[in-house]
Structure 1
Amino acid sequence: MNVDICKCEISLTDASALEAWNGVVLEILAHGQNAPVHLNTLLETAPEFAMGHAIKGLAVLMLARREVLPVAVEANKSAQAALKAGGATAREALWCSALNDWINGAPTRSVERMEAALRLNPADTISMKMSHGIRFMLGDNHGMRRSVERVLPAHGVDHPLRGYVLGCLAFAMEETGSYADAERTGLMGLELAVNDAWGLHAVAHVYDMTHRVDDGIALIDQNAAAWGHCNNFRFHVWWHKALLHLDQGDVAKALDLYDTKIRDDKTDDFRDISNATSLLVRLQLDGVDVGHRWEELADLSEARVDDGCLVFADLHYMLALAGDKRTDAAALMTARIARDATGPGDMAQVMKAPGVAAAEGLAAFGEGDYQRAFAGLSAGHTKFQSLGGSHAQRDVFERLTIEAGLRAGRLDETKTLLDERTALRGGHEDTFAARRMSQIESARRSQRSIAAE
């Protein structure tokens, strides 16, 4: 039996099909643009390859878009039919089960299937990457780290994909607060896999969390080979660069990156919308007039009010609706999230908490009702991790919670949130925290002065 680039046995017998499969693996690991090209070649050459249909379906589900779910369902049918025809390996069957689980509302079980595949062969890099990716969407940061650490010994210096594993480990280390280890591991991985955008962005996260702004900008500028080739993930790297410039106080550069890079291609991919909305919120909280930039985001987001595939996406759509003062659409979004919270499946639990409270808080913030905004956002605050994404991505909700508390005059509670946020960053106080702490002290002085009078 043939062996693929992950050192796993594979049922493919045609050499061109195996080459296409290895191309799929490499492009996914590098967040490259050509994964669909290789996948189409693979399925044309080997339509009986069940795992090929499974990876297609799982990739579609990760887009978190209601209208493409039929594509994932069809891929699942093809995968199950190919599986019944026989010849699949145990690993390939597990991937088909993972797709079927997610189709049926249980991505947590999909993760279990990937971990079972890794127990069969811990050198299976693509199963590690899929487990990592789904856990990322579920907010399972510690699970991400445990998973990669378990398979690292099987990815020794002789494994061709070791660099990508180090990149995933670096990100998991950063998300669990081990910033020095994450930096060292990510840079080591980049030496082995120079096109590893995920590893590069893991180190960029470290610099964001530890307020090393100059280091972060230099890292991105000096490693274009790691991310210039990417699919829309390159917009996310530009987003990181814009955040770093904004932390420096360079508003003009952040706005220029928004217009010429982050939203140059005005897609309605939730990941691209999350980049854009969260940057605009940061700018507005710093007192910047963002002009008409909310309008196109709100148009796209209003069309997704009934989506409900991923709470992380829904709340970023809500940012656009609140930013453009679309109160009717925001109310519809809030009501739909509340309905979804009563349903079955893994996502309903996240809709229930923190989804409902956070959506209500964001809608209230858009209306200028800061007491109600703080009540909703602070109620959801302890479960923001379950939204998925990264600390840097979820920080927009942290900032809005803190800002709502300040504007509502809830100074003691707001200071506690700021202290917790700085502690999460290893004690490094960024520009946002420093300014809000200063505002709290100023407000307290005013309160003391009034009390004395």
Structure 2
Amino acid sequence: MQDSLGNPITLTDPASQRAVNDFVEGFIACEARAADVLSAAEDDNPLVQAYCATLHLFAESRDAAANARPFIERAQAGASRASPRERRYIEAIAAWAEGDIARAIALHQEQAREHPRDLASLKLGQYHCFNIGDCPGMLRLALAALPAAADVPYLHGMAAFGYEQCHRMREAEASARRAIAMERKEPWAHHALGHVMLTEGRLAEGLDFMRGVSDTWVGLNSFMVTHNWWHVALFLIDLGRDAEALAVYDEQVWGVVKDYSQDQIGAVSLLGRLELAGIDVGERWQALAGYLAQRLDDHVLPFLDLQYLYGLARAGRPEAERLLRNIEAFAPQAPPSTRAAWQRVAVPAARGLLAHARGDAAGAIEGLGLALPRLVEIGGSHAQRDLFEQLYLDALIASATSAALASAQGLLQQQVNAQPESLRLRRQADAVYAALRLPQLVSNATNP
């Protein structure tokens, strides 16, 4: 038997073939049906068990590895019945569960070379590369598979995001558009092209594009649908369409799967951006904080912990201080693959974020200033990490010292140059120029 991409599969129960295909097809297409493989969890087939473990690990919670472990153990116990390709995937999932991300990536890279149509493995390898800031690794995985799998639209979407994260905007746009031409419902390609347009300051075009394909965002996993709407909200914020951006938060970004890590950090980062743009978010921090308070001991990814902390701090919850102490205690004992990112980036960033949330501009500048040069090491996309840069800039402006305002001017004007359509940036620049006593440079930007 084969999966729908032509990879041979060793199944004892032919009925499980559909579950395998639901996982493979659903995973690469960002569709919720990937979880249907759990319906075959009683099948002792090692590949089925490994796919079930994958889904549990994607919960990105403190108990995810424990929940995945029984499936991994069953997969390993049956590995002698599996093919080399399947055994390699099982090894990669086991490495992930143990926190050995370097080994997991190496196995996914080997898989891409040996079995380039195993696109579920490839996409998972990209996920790990993304989480440690290895953007070239993301691209290398996709390009390794292209000669053998150019007929699969979702691979072009994966290549597009790899190109974009490597700042190769022309190739990213071409790959995304090729994917969409092959399959209009390709949300990852929509996402990659949205990144390109945001980066290049094509704000009105980006908003029109994302809204124009949003009718296809059905049947997706909660991350993909909420994250694409999150991108819509970013365009709205920069274009000064504040009420619409707030409505997207309320109706599309927060509330799909409130217990899921990615939905939570999407809500945190969007609320933070709304506030930085001068938009009153009311009691929304408090409504979110109850879910974040359950994350104090997770420490799955530093990128996640930092946003949980900021959300708790903005809600005025005492758990923010506890999470900071937990991060400081965990960092020295983090898995070797990610220890440096926890110690040298997450710890100072966490201190800076807590300071910013409490109105301590000097503390925010110190902590975030230490973290920003190496921020890529904690993962996240350029657009996601921009929240930390915006908070640092806000702290510079709030400190109001001549040196800080001079630094803010340099950062802001470069951003205005890159995104001349952004009313948000122009308003911030106007405030800085007024504070620097340069009224002749104020653009008098207003909301439309």
Shared fold (TM-score greater than 0.5)?
yes
Q: CA deviation at 1:165?
A: 0.5
Please state if 1:268 is matched with 2:262.
no
Give, in whole Å, the separation in 1 of the partners of 2:414 and 2:302. Answer: 24
Q: For the Cα contact (< 8 Å) 1:55–1:95, is it kept in 2?
A: no
Q: Could you say which residue in structure 1 is the equivalent of 2:271?
A: 280
Change (3 A) 1:419 1:98: farther
Structure 2 residue identity aligned to 1:265: V
Change (3 A) 1:57 1:421: farther
Q: For the Cα contact (< 8 Å) 1:200–1:226, is it kept in 2?
A: no
Please state if 1:49 is matched with 2:45.
yes
* Structure 1 segment 137-286 matched on structure 2, within 5 A: 137-156=131-150, 159=151, 162-232=152-222, 233-265=224-256, 267-286=258-277
Q: Could you say which residue in structure 1 is the equivalent of 2:305?
A: 314
C-alpha root-mean-square deviation of aligned residues, in Å? 2.1
Alignment counterpart, residue 61 of structure 1, candidates 50, 57, 63? 57
Change (3 A) 1:151 1:420: farther
Give, in whole Å, the separation in 2 of the partners of 1:185 and 1:176. Answer: 14
SS in 2 for 1:268: coil
Superposed CA offset, 1:170-223 (max 9, x none): 111111112222122101101212322111111111122122122222222222
Give, in whole Å, the separation in 1 of the partners of 2:352 and 2:275. Answer: 17
Give, in whole Å, the separation in 2 of the partners of 1:60 and 1:421. Answer: 40
Q: Could you say which residue in structure 1 is the equivalent of 2:436?
A: 444
Structure 2 residue identity aligned to 1:435: R
* Structure 1 segment 360-439 matched on structure 2, within 5 A: 360-408=351-399, 409=401, 410-418=404-412, 427-429=418-420, 430-439=422-431
* Structure 1 segment 51-90 matched on structure 2, within 5 A: 51-83=47-79, 86-90=80-84
Superposed CA offset, 1:242-282 (max 9, x none): 11111111111011111122124360212111111111111
Q: CA deviation at 1:418?
A: 4.0
Give, in whole Å, the separation in 2 of the partners of 1:366 and 1:102. Answer: 33
Q: Could you say which residue in structure 2 is the equivalent of 1:12?
A: 11
Q: Could you say which residue in structure 2 is the equivalent of 1:97?
A: 91
Q: CA deviation at 1:58?
A: 2.5
Question: Which stretch shows the higher mean deviation, 256-265 or 72-81?
Answer: 256-265
Give, in whole Å, the separation in 2 of the partners of 1:48 and 1:325. Answer: 48
Q: For the Cα contact (< 8 Å) 2:38–2:52, is it kept in 1?
A: no
Q: For the Cα contact (< 8 Å) 2:334–2:342, is it kept in 1?
A: no
Q: Could you say which residue in structure 1 is the equivalent of 2:284?
A: 293
Question: Which stretch shows the higher mean deviation, 258-267 or 124-133?
Answer: 258-267
Structure 1 residue identity aligned to 2:338: M
Please state if 1:33 is matched with 2:29.
no
Superposed CA offset, 1:36-79 (max 9, x none): 12x034444xx232122222222322321013332111121111
Q: CA deviation at 1:13?
A: 5.5
Give, in whole Å, the separation in 1 of the partners of 2:367 and 2:129. Answer: 26
Mind listing any 5+ residue stretches in structure 2 that lack a counterpart? 440-448
Please state if 1:120 is matched with 2:114.
yes
Q: CA deviation at 1:420?
A: 6.8
Q: CA deviation at 1:225?
A: 5.0
Structure 2 residue identity aligned to 1:129: K
Mind listing any 5+ residue stretches in structure 1 that lack a counterpart? 448-453
Q: For the Cα contact (< 8 Å) 2:275–2:281, is it kept in 1?
A: yes
Q: Could you say which residue in structure 2 is the equivalent of 1:450?
A: none
Superposed CA offset, 1:289-333 (max 9, x none): 11100002112112211221111111111121121122x322111
Change (3 A) 1:106 1:432: farther
Give, in whole Å, the separation in 2 of the partners of 1:121 and 1:61. Answer: 23
Give, in whole Å, the separation in 1 of the partners of 2:427 and 2:133. Answer: 29
Give, in whole Å, the separation in 2 of the partners of 1:329 and 1:17. Answer: 44
Give, in whole Å, the separation in 2 of the partners of 1:304 and 1:121. Answer: 37
Change (3 A) 1:14 1:192: farther
Structure 2 residue identity aligned to 1:74: P
Give, in whole Å, the separation in 2 of the partners of 1:342 and 1:401. Answer: 25
Question: Which stretch shows the higher mean deviation, 19-28 or 52-61?
Answer: 52-61
Give, in whole Å, the separation in 1 of the partners of 2:32 and 2:181. Answer: 22
Work out the number of aligned pairs and report it. 434
Alignment counterpart, residue 329 of structure 1, candidates 316, 319, 322? 319
Superposed CA offset, 1:339-389 (max 9, x none): 111104123322112100000001001111101111000100011112212
Tell me the TM-score normalized by structure 2.
Answer: 0.91
Identity between Structure 1 and Structure 2 (%): 30
Q: For the Cα contact (< 8 Å) 1:6–1:126, is it kept in 2?
A: no
Q: For the Cα contact (< 8 Å) 2:153–2:179, is it kept in 1?
A: yes
SS in 2 for 1:330: helix
Q: For the Cα contact (< 8 Å) 1:148–1:168, is it kept in 2?
A: yes
Tell me the TM-score normalized by structure 1.
Answer: 0.90
Change (3 A) 1:432 1:385: farther
Give, in whole Å, the separation in 1 of the partners of 2:8 and 2:324. Answer: 48
Give, in whole Å, the separation in 1 of the partners of 2:413 and 2:142. Answer: 31
Q: Could you say which residue in structure 1 is the equivalent of 2:22?
A: 23
Q: For the Cα contact (< 8 Å) 2:302–2:346, is it kept in 1?
A: yes
Q: Could you say which residue in structure 2 is the equivalent of 1:341?
A: 331
Q: For the Cα contact (< 8 Å) 2:238–2:425, is it kept in 1?
A: no
Superposed CA offset, 1:113-138 (max 9, x none): 11111221222222211111221222
Give, in whole Å, the separation in 2 of the partners of 1:202 and 1:173. Answer: 9
Structure 1 residue identity aligned to 2:75: A
Give, in whole Å, the separation in 1 of the partners of 2:274 and 2:185. Answer: 31
